[in-house]
Every structure is written in structure tokens, then in C-alpha cells.
Amino acid sequence: MYDFYKILDIPRDASMEDIKRAYRNKAKELHPDVNNSPKANEVFAVVNEAYATLLDDKKRYMHDLKLNYADTTKANAERKKQYYGSSVKNNTHSNPTNFHYDWNSFNKAAYQEKDDDYYFKRSPWLYNLFFISGMFLGFVIAIVSISGTFKNFWPKPFILISVLGFILIYQGWKGIMGKKTFLHGIKKRFRK
């Protein structure tokens, strides 16, 4: 595992300006147009990865977690070696040649959007209970507004509130039947 702070020669508490300045200095030295080394492309790719990781807060946090874990593992191995002698195997996970963390798969797994099927599979009873309660609320709204208007408790325009009740009943029925609801379509439009 690479320590991106050592690659850019900065401390772990470096600010964004320090990271940018260190990257510019490294780019002046290691860019393949300037450096004639046969491994200049590989080295500069690692410098770019270090820069991109340390500028992004989420990636930097994950990198710091991995570094802290590696430091703790090395310290524990050294402590065991001192206590038990040199026969203890050093079981640190620090092979820099084959380590590469795929940030895109981490983001997809962590921030995966959940749809109606996901919630239905997790708890069908609770999912349907949600729509049934919406239908019940819609029924109450429709009955109260219609009966109140006809018994002259409220003025005539108050009957328009019953439309909201009918919408809740309709959407609840569609949700129970597994069809895409009107509100689901509106949510998708706003997410784009």
C-alpha cells in the first residue's frame, strides 16, 4: 500500500494548498515530458493518484483509515517480535506491488440507490402496510370533506380537499398492485 503523504513529501495534516503545491513540485520533477526515466509514466501515475486521493475528502478519509490500520498492524507485529523473539512471523499487509483500491466500486456499493423492489423484498408486510395506511388516510379525508360539505359544516369549495383523498386512495392501490406510482415518476424527474 502506498503512503500518498510520503509520495508527495507532505505531513498527514497538510492543507489543500500544501497538497497542491507539493503536487506541482513533483510534477515538475517527474512528468514524463521532463523525466527521461523508462518508469516515468508509472511513477507519475502514482503521483496523480496520490494527488486525486488527498484532494477528495472521502478518499482521503479512507486512505487515512488504511494507513492507521497498517501502522497499528506493524506496531503490533514489532511488539510481538520484541516480546517473543525473531521467530514471530511479521503479518503486516503492506505489499505495495499488488495493492490498488477501486474507489468507484466503493462508491457504488456505499451509495447505491434503493428502489421500491428493494424495500418490498426486505419487508413485504411493512411495504404494503405503508400503502394501506395511505389509502385509509385518503378515505378518511374524502369522507370527512364530502360529508362536512353536504351537512353545511364547511363552505362548498372545501369539497375540493376530497380530491387529495382520492389521489391517496388511487396511489395506495397502485402501490399495492406493484405498479409505478405517480409520485415515483415525479421523484425520478427531480433526481435527474
Structural domain count, the chain: 2
Residues 101 and 135 occupy one common structural domain: no
Q: Among residues 110, 130, 164, which one ends one of the domains?
A: 110
Phi, psi angles (nearest 5°) of residue 178: 85, 10
**pLDDT tens column, 24-79:** 998 888 888 887 777 888 888 888 898 999 899 899 899 888 888 888 887 777 77
pLDDT at residue 138 in the model: 92
DSSP 8-state secondary structure symbol assigned to residue 88: S
Q: In this structure, are residues 154 and 134 in contact, taking their beta carbons and an 8 Å threshold?
A: no
pTM of structure: 0.42
Residues 106 and 125 occupy one common structural domain: no
Q: In this structure, are residues 91 and 79 in contact, taking their beta carbons and an 8 Å threshold?
A: no
**Which amino acid makes up residue 148?**
G
Residues 53 and 68 occupy one common structural domain: yes
How many Å is the Cα radius of gyration of the chain? 30
d(CA 119, CA 159): 35
Residues 22 and 94 occupy one common structural domain: yes
Number of other CB atoms surrounding residue 91 within 10 Å: 10
Residues 48 and 130 occupy one common structural domain: no
Residues 89 and 121 occupy one common structural domain: no
Query: In the structure grid, which three cell numbers stand for residue 192, read together?
Result: 435527474
Q: Which CATH number belongs to the domain containing residue 20 in this structure?
A: 1.10.287.110
d(CA 38, CA 48): 17
Cα→Cα distances 191→112, 114, 185, 186, Å: 14, 13, 10, 9
**Which amino acid makes up residue 112?**
Q
Which class for 19: exposed (0-12), middle (13-18), buried (19 or more C-beta within 10 A)?
buried
Query: Of 130, 137, 165, which Cα lies nearest the Cα of 149?
Result: 165
Residues 31 and 105 occupy one common structural domain: yes
pLDDT at residue 96 in the model: 46
Residue with cell string 506491488: 97
Residues 76 and 126 occupy one common structural domain: no
Residues 125 and 177 occupy one common structural domain: yes
Residues 60 and 45 occupy one common structural domain: yes
Q: In sequence order, what DSSP letters do the residues of 95-112 get, joined into one string?
A: -TTS----HHHHHHHHTP
Residues 33 and 105 occupy one common structural domain: yes
Q: Among residues 110, 129, 159, which one ends one of the domains?
A: 110
Which residue segment(s) compose the domain that 143 sits in? 116-191
Spell out, as residue ranges, where the chain has pLDDT lower than 50.
Answer: 92-103, 106-107, 109-111
Residues 98 and 129 occupy one common structural domain: no
